[in-house]
Amino acid sequence: MLQDALLVIDAQKGMVNAANYEQVINQINDRIDAYRAENKPLLFIQHTDDELVYGSDPWMLAPQLHRQQTDQVMLKYHSDSFYETGLASLLHHRAVRFVEICGFQTEYCVDTAMRVGHDQGFDMSIMQGLSSTMASNGLTAAQIIKHHEQIWQGTFGHVMPNPTVQSESTTEGAAH
C-alpha cells in the first residue's frame, strides 16, 4: 500500500556501517520505484552535522538510490526533518496527509520524523525493516529497530508488514 508521499531520511554514504545497509537501500529503492510509478511525491531528507559535513563524501546521498535529478532534496541540520526545513508546509501544500518514511538512523532521525510527523497531524507509517542503525549501549541494531517498531505501531503511526522480513518468531535475537 502506498501513502500520499514517501520521505527517504538520511540515506547517505556516511550511514554505510548501519546494519544491512545495502539490503535496506535496495528495499528503499523498491519503495521509491513504487511511488514514482504512481506519480506520488518523493522527498529526500539529507542530514548535515559535524560527522556528515556539507559537501563531504559521507554527506552525499547513497549513489545506489533510485533518485533522479528532479527529485526534491531537503537539507536538515537537526534530527527533526520538520525543524526549520519547511517540510510540513510543503506536505500541506501538496495535500499530503498520509506519509511513509524510511531510512537511517532508526533511534534518531527516523524516530523523530515518526513522532513529530504524528504530532503535526500526519498519518505516519513505515514498512517493517526499512530503517536501520548501528549497535549501541549493549543493544544490537536488530533489537533497536524492533523496539522502535513496537513503540511506533499504533502509537505514532503504522508499521506495515514487509514480506521480505522474516516473522518475529524466526528472528528472535537475530540481526535483520
Domains of the chain (ranges; CATH) run 5-171 (3.40.50.850)
- What pLDDT was estimated at residue 137? 86
Q: Which amino acid does the sequence have at 70? A: T
Q: Which amino acid does the sequence have at 15? A: M
Give SS3 for 36: helix
- What pLDDT was estimated at residue 164? 85
- What pLDDT was estimated at residue 100? 98
Give the integer Cα–Cα distance in Å for 166 and 78. Answer: 33
CA distances from 79 to 26, 45, 83 (A): 23, 11, 8
- What pLDDT was estimated at residue 172? 38
- What pLDDT was estimated at residue 154? 93
**Residues lower than pLDDT 50 in the chain:** 167-176
pTM for the model: 0.92
129, three cell numbers: 525493516
